[in-house]
Structure 1
Amino acid sequence: MADENVKDGEDYRLDRNAELRFEVDSRNEVQMELVEGMAEVFGTELAKKQICAFLPGSKVAVYTYHGCVVKLRGKTEVAYISKETPMTMYLNTHAAMEQMRQKADIEETRGPRVLVVGPTDVGKSTLCRLLVNYAVRSGRSPMLVDLDVGQGQISVPGTLAAVVMERVADVEEGFVKTAPLVFHFGHKSPADNMTLFNTLMSRMAEVINIRSEQSQRVNSSGVVINTGGWVRGSGYDVLKHAAGSFEVDVILVLDQERLYNQLKGDLPEFVKIVLLPKSGGVVERSQHARAEARDMKIREYFYGVKGNFFPHTFEVKFSEVKLYKIGAPSLPESCLPLGMKASDSKTKVIPVLPTMTLLHHVLSVSASDSGDQNIVETNVLGFIIVTGIDMDKAVMTVLSPSPRPLPKSILLVMDIQFMDIK
């Protein structure tokens, strides 16, 4: 059925199993109100008569199973109603996962561990949000794991993160991420350091197993794992490593039969592999748009989604902190110390001297107390940005979400930069 264009500022009616998709204009915000019926945004139910405001550039899909009337106020780049939507299939996927959880409750075993894979810009993060929201609405506490270091939804780019979800995502601001587990990777793509990425994935899986053992509720609720869009060559090997590390039961492949058939051939039969279509509302993003999304994610960390956080700026003496970078440059085997492999250098912790090149870099504040600990596999407490360096005074000015002093003294340098122009 053809999509139906919508006029802004008017009430309009969605039939059963229809979806209103709109993208907010880059200079304005759009207000949305559910006037009649029942509807949801990415698995979060809308309250009737409550006005939701969406920021410039937001892409939103309002779905209804039974029909509804919605009002939009403000300028959109595009807005249309579609009846061609895969939402019923996504709901069926949730129902199958819920059956696995009920069985886990009865047998006191582990709930479903689901890996969501597919190329870039097919809606993997959105599907993860849907499945987690539906699970929470069913009374569960699933764990969301994000392995997408380029466009993560739990923490800033350049990290692997996991969090137990107790509440449905807010329509406007997304998930409440209370006490997430975050590991420093420091790059925008796993390709920049495959050895480190695989090491951190394995460590994340270990910690999740420990967390699951502590609570049968979390254990039976299962894990939903989001991945990046690199699915060929070494990227495919990363997906297989993730499937093995997290001992997944189900792999959801979005919009790529080739990847589906590869996984079917390479993974054991007990792993259920399901091919799902992507939503028609998903659009491909340019490299520039992806870079902007990374900047937005870092800005949200410090200032909040709606600019309601107030970060602190203060000076830190060089003598008060120790700076490190994880991963030494690749060297031929002949240049390495006796008994050392090339892959070992990829997880080596290298001391960094403070210089002007640190300006605008994102730094992770490690939870490690000393350089003797395994800094690579220690989680991080948060992030700061170097906004100024005075070599004469031997101090750097940092932007921090909390006031001085820094909670720990070991700082890990990312390859990711952010210009704070607020």
Structure 2
Amino acid sequence: MTEDKKSCLQEYKLEQDNELRFEVETKGEKVYLTLKSGLAEIFGTELVKGKTYEFTSGAKVAVYTWQGCTIEVKGKTDVIYTAKETPMIIYSNCHAALEIMRSECENDNKRGPIAMVVGPQDVGKSTLCKILLNYAVRMGRRPVYVDLDVGQGSISIPGTVGAIVIERPASIDEGFSQEAPLVYNYGYKSPSGNSKLFSMVMDQLALTVKERLEVNKKTRHSGVIINTCGWIKGDGYRQLLHAGHTFEVDVVLVLDQERLYNELVRDMPNNVKIVFLQKSGGVVELSKSARTENRDQRIREYFYGTLKNQLYPHSFDLKWSEIKLFKIGAPPLPDSCLPHGMKPMDHLTKVVSIIPSPGILHHLLAVSFAEKEDEDIIYSHVAGFVCVSNVDTERQTITLLSPQPKPLPNNVLVLSDLQFMDSH
């Protein structure tokens, strides 16, 4: 059953292993969902019976029930239907297998399983990660979530890689708690922007995650779930192999592409389990413009929050003399001009000091924890991000949009390739 532009109040009775899927695309539209009876969940987070959940434009929702339930939906949806065939039992089996591995590691006091989710764009990798993390937390675990999808940036903003310890299930409307994330600045919306820099940043993240696993016993036994981007050919595939090696993964879950599955079976070590999974029928393919809009919305939420949790950023001026501004990457030199011992690719990760100019207007700047002005900048995690809203060359000042007031945690700022046009 598919109903387009369905409005007013509707009640849906779902049988066991059914999923109610709907999308809210119309701007300004709100849809309210209430579980009236039975048990149901959204991407692994249980719904509270009788509580009303609100969804706004851009929401793509799948309400799943193991035993059957009654759902009330109020408002106008662009698409809504009941799916009787879902991959949820297969995903649940993946969780059960990971849980067996966790229990064995707990008994032997070893590091828990490290699972990496891979596949092309728009097959539900982020959703599968959320389901596996929610199920793990509901079993009393504290897994680490690692996000390598720089185009989406679910832990911080696009253009970053990061990790966070998951201590409680994601809320239906706000997702996982964003307290104390570990974030590294990469500065491009795709790993292809600077593949050498991406590898270096990923290696540093892996090193820090391994160190943190050693500190906390419960997290060590719970293991890691890694989300990856949809670039799976050529250099993208090599980056997946590199990620598997550097994070020392035990399990790779391949969504929707048998060719990728077979390549990984061929190229990954024999001790790594490669599992092929089908994607959910509710996955929506995004256009390039929708992907760009989602990226902009993610950055906007970083500064201004969401409709339910609004934030009020600060704007202030800093003198050029008060900051140290850098960018990563320099123009390539001909091989004949390279200094002795320097490799042709080294210019991609060269840290260059720059003077503020109108060219950095609307660009994001990472506030780095780096103390030195050399490679420290690449390997240091960041305190957060600011956006350049004005550059005054006469007064030699720069105006920044910032989540917090002056002073900044550090005066070392790193230019990102990503931009944000502030419409507020």
Question: Could you tell me how far apart the structure 2 residues matched to 1:274 and 1:177 are?
Answer: 30
Deviation of 1:372 (Å): 5.0
The separation in 2 between residues aligned to 1:150 and 1:25, in whole angstroms, is 21
SS of the residue corresponding to residue 220 of structure 1 reads helix
Q: Is the 8 A contact 2:24 2:56 kept in 1?
A: yes
Residue by residue over 1:181-240, the C-alpha shift from the partner in whole angstroms, topping out at 9 and shown as x without a partner, is 111100011111111111111111111111011111111100000000000111000000
CA distance in 2, matches of 1:272, 1:191: 27
Q: Map of 1:111-260 to 2, 5 A cutoff?
A: 111-260=112-261
Q: What is the rounded CA distance, in whole Å, between the counterparts of 2:202 and 2:133 in structure 1?
A: 20
Aligned match of 2:314? 312
Contact preservation (8 Å) 1:25, 1:75:
no
Cα-Cα RMSD: 1.2
Structure 2, unpaired ranges of 5+: none
Shift of 1:173: 0.8
The amino acid that maps onto 1:56 is S
Which runs of no fewer than 5 residues in structure 1 stay unpaired?
none
For residue 373 of structure 1, report the CA deviation from its aligned partner: 6.2
Pick from 365, 373, 376 the counterpart of residue 374 of structure 1.
376
- Tell me how many residue pairs correspond in the alignment: 420
Q: In structure 2, the residue corresponding to 1:376 is in which secondary structure?
A: helix
Identity %: 52
1:385 aligns with 2:392: no
Q: 1:74 to 1:331 in 2, by over 3 A?
A: farther
Amino acid at match of 1:323: L
Distance in 2 separating the partners of 1:370 and 1:272: 41
8 Å CA contact retained: 1:113, 1:223: yes
Partner of 1:418: 420
User: Who is 1:263 aligned against?
Assistant: 264
Larger mean Cα displacement after TM superposition, 107-116 or 69-78? 69-78
For residue 351 of structure 2, the aligned residue among 349, 352, 362 is 349
Deviations 1:368-392 (A, max 9, x none): 1331561110000000011112111
Question: What letter matches 1:149 in structure 2?
Answer: V
Q: Using the alignment, how far apart are the partners of 1:139 and 1:145 within structure 2? A: 19
- Distance in 2 (alpha carbons) for counterparts of 1:336 and 1:5: 64
**Which segment drifts farther, 18-27 or 272-281?**
18-27
Q: Give the SS at the match of 1:342.
A: coil
**TM-score in terms of structure 2 length:** 0.97
Tell me which stretches of 4 or more aligned residues in structure 1 moved more than 6 Å. Answer: none
SS at match of 2:262: helix
Deviation at 1:302, TM superposition (A): 1.1
SS in 2 for 1:151: coil
Amino acid at match of 1:397: T
SS of residue matched to 2:37: strand
Distance 1:335 1:105, change over 3 A: same
How far has the Cα of 1:356 moved from its partner?
A: 0.5
* TM-score of the two chains, using structure 1 as the length reference: 0.97
Question: Which residue matches 2:109?
Answer: 108
The alignment partner of 1:375 has SS state of helix
Query: Which residue of structure 2 lines up, in the alignment, with residue 333 of structure 1?
Result: 335
Q: State the 1:415 CA deviation.
A: 0.6
Match of 1:398 in 2: 400
For residues 103 and 329 of structure 2, the distance between their equivalents in structure 1, rounded to whole angstroms, comes to 44
Instruction: Output aligned runs, 1:70-85, within 5 Å.
Output: 70-85=71-86
- Rounded to whole Å, the distance in 2 between the matches of 1:285 and 1:267 is 30
Residue deviations 1:260-286 (CA, integer Å, cap 9, x gap): 000001111110000000010111111
